[in-house]
Homo-oligomer: A and B are copies of this chain.
Amino acid sequence: MKPCEHEAAHHLAAQLAAENMPGEEEIARVSAVFKSISEPSRLKILFALRQGEMCVYHIVEAVGGTQSGVSHQLRILRDNRVIKARRDGQNVVYSLADEHVLAVLELACSHLNCKI
């Protein structure tokens, strides 16, 4: 493969892109966050938590599936700081970690013209 005809026009962009490319670690972290919110079962949890904080029992009630499955998914979301947890007696209460999460969900929906 040889340079395309836009050598002059595009090469600068390519060079800048290579220079400003985030390191492997940063790419991996961003990747992990997006992966964590890209699975249908986990997306449902996030949409559910838009209504407010909930304990695991009620999350299962809202999104369906098994307690074990939901718990595994909560772990992944929590590891990526997409949701946060606090213990309250026998229960663990989950909620969205910050405004960014809500904002990203809404951006995705507007990108898709969702009516959510």
Distance between A109 CB and nearest chain B CB, rounded to angstroms: 7
List of B residues within 8 angstroms of A72 by Cβ? none
Residues of B within 8 A of A86 (CB): none
User: What's the dominant secondary structure at chain A's contact region?
Assistant: helix
B26:A114 contact, CB within 8 angstroms: yes
Query: Interface range on chain A: under 10, 10 to 19, 20 to 34, or 35 or more?
Result: 35 or more
Q: Are the CB atoms of B37 and A34 closer together than 8 Å?
A: yes
Question: What are the 4 tightest A-B residue pairs by CB atom distance, in nearest-first order?
Answer: A34-B38, A17-B48, A14-B58, A17-B62
Q: Which B-chain residue is minimally distant from A64 (CB atoms)?
A: B18
Q: Is A54 interfacial (CB 8 A cutoff)?
A: yes
What residues of B have a CB within 8 angstroms of the CB of A101 in the complex?
111
